[in-house]
């Protein structure tokens, strides 16, 4: 039975039996795997604190041919959302966003096929989160790059209809998943999602920078809200559903605003 070791991102876990967990994780070199962590739910488990969503870790596992589940030998954390507690806007916000990023990766990562770019995106996100990066900007950055890596992010350099610049911002019409300039969207803008020129500047900066540069990418609350709504629409269109973690996170953020 071959033993594999790899850098990996923990994506989610499920209960199995009375003491074990099924762990979904994305390896750098062999794609997404599902494995059993024996005894992970016991109070003194060696896996205690190592299986938080988006934890970046070294993972060793046994894999048998024709078996869907691998057996996890050990998980050695390298960075974790727990490191972000107390260093960002709110502890619950940091952990909620880590779970949201992990669920997005899980939805798009193919089973058993390496996607190092997706792995690097997740790894850079947890490193940025743990170092205290601005959470709202990191979320918009992550969504932009996830959709871009899948080849489904709308063009932001110029209007696809007329080729003109987005000099007055852009509009995503109600039944479309692309941006139009305000001139071309004039007949279909009713009920559409507007994206300000400030939001587009953020996207252009994000296209050529890593998340460690988010402090140098201004995004005011209004522009951030534009992108949040546009990205929610794009993700729902391409996933054909809204993620559970996204609903929980939105409720959490709304509660913090009321407080």
Identify the CATH number of the domain in which residue 248 sits.
Answer: 1.20.1440
DSSP conformation class of 165 = -
Task: Report if residue 87 sits inside a domain.
Answer: no
Token pair belonging to 194: 């507007």
- 244 phi and psi, to 5 degrees? -60, -45
The strand order across the sheet containing 193-195 reads: 180-181, 170-172, 193-195
Residues with Cβ within 8 Å of 254's Cβ and at least 6 positions away in sequence, in order, are none
* Residue 167 forms part of a structural domain: yes
DSSP secondary structure of 182-248: TTTTTTT-TT-EEE-HHHHHHHHHHTTS-GGGGGGS---HHHHHHHHHHHHHHHHHHHSS--HHHHH
Closest CA to 180 of 206, 199, 169: 169
35 within some domain: no
Phi/psi zone of residue 164: left (φ > 0), alpha (ψ -120 to 50 degrees), beta? beta
Between CA 250 and CA 232 the distance in angstroms is 11
- Please report the pLDDT score of residue 130 as a whole number: 87
Instruction: Tell me the three state secondary structure of residue 61.
Output: strand
pLDDT at residue 65 in the model: 77
Average pLDDT over residues 56-78: 91
Q: Is 161 helix (H, G, I), strand (E, B) or coil?
A: coil
Rounded to an integer, what distance in angstroms lies between the CA atom of residue 255 and that of residue 259? 6
- At residue 259, the pLDDT reads 47
Number of domains, the chain: 1
| CB of 74 closer than 8 Å to CB of 5 | no
Cβ-contact 177, 233 below 8 angstroms: yes
Domain annotation covers residue 157: yes
Is residue 140 situated within a structural domain? Answer: yes
Please give the pLDDT value at position 94: 82
> Alpha-carbon distance 141 to 233, whole Å?
16
CA distances for 237 relative to 175, 208, 232, angstroms? 10, 26, 9
Lowest mean pLDDT among 78-87, 97-106, 226-235, 249-258: 249-258
Question: What residues does 8 pair with on adjacent strands?
Answer: 27, 57
Classify residue 61: in a domain, yes or no.
no
- The pLDDT tens digits of the residues spanning 146-205 come to 999 999 999 998 999 999 999 888 999 887 888 999 888 876 556 688 999 999 999 999
DSSP H or E run through 92: helix 91-108
Write the pLDDT tens digit of every residue in 194-247.
999 999 999 999 999 999 999 999 999 999 999 999 999 999 999 998 888 888
Q: Which domain holds residue 188?
A: 133-259
Q: Is residue 42 part of a domain?
A: no
Is the residue at 83 inside a domain? no
From 117, 186, 185, 126, select the one nearest 147 (Cα to Cα): 117
């Amino acid at each position: 039975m071959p033993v594999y070791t790899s850098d990996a991102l923990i994506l989610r876990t499920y209960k199995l039996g009375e003491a074990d967990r099924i762990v979904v994780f994305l390896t750098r070199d062999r794609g997404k795997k599902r494995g059993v962590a024996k005894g992970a739910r016991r109070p003194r488990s060696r896996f205690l604190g190592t299986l938080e969503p988006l934890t970046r870790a070294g993972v060793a596992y046994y894999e048998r041919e024709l078996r869907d589940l691998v057996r996890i030998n050990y998980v050695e954390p390298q960075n974790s959302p727990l490191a972000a507690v107390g260093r960002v806007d709110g502890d619950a916000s940091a952990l909620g966003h880590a779970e949201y990023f992990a669920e997005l990766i899980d939805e798009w990562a193919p089973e058993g096929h390496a996607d190092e770019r997706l792995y690097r995106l997740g790894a850079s996100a947890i490193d940025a989160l743990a170092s205290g990066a601005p959470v709202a900007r990191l979320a918009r950055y992550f969504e932009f790059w996830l959709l871009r890596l899948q080849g489904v992010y709308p063009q932001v350099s110029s209007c696809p209809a007329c080729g003109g610049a987005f000099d007055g911002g852009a509009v995503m019409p109600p039944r479309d998943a692309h941006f139009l300039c305000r001139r071309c969207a004039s007949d279909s803008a009713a009920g559409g999602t507007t994206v300000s020129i400030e939001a587009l500047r953020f996207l252009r900066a994000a296209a050529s920078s890593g998340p460690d540069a988010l402090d140098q990418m201004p995004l005011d609350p209004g522009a951030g809200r534009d992108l949040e709504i546009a990205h929610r629409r794009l993700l729902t269109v391409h996933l054909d559903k809204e993620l559970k973690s996204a609903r929980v996170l939105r409720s959490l953020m709304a509660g913090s605003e009321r407080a």
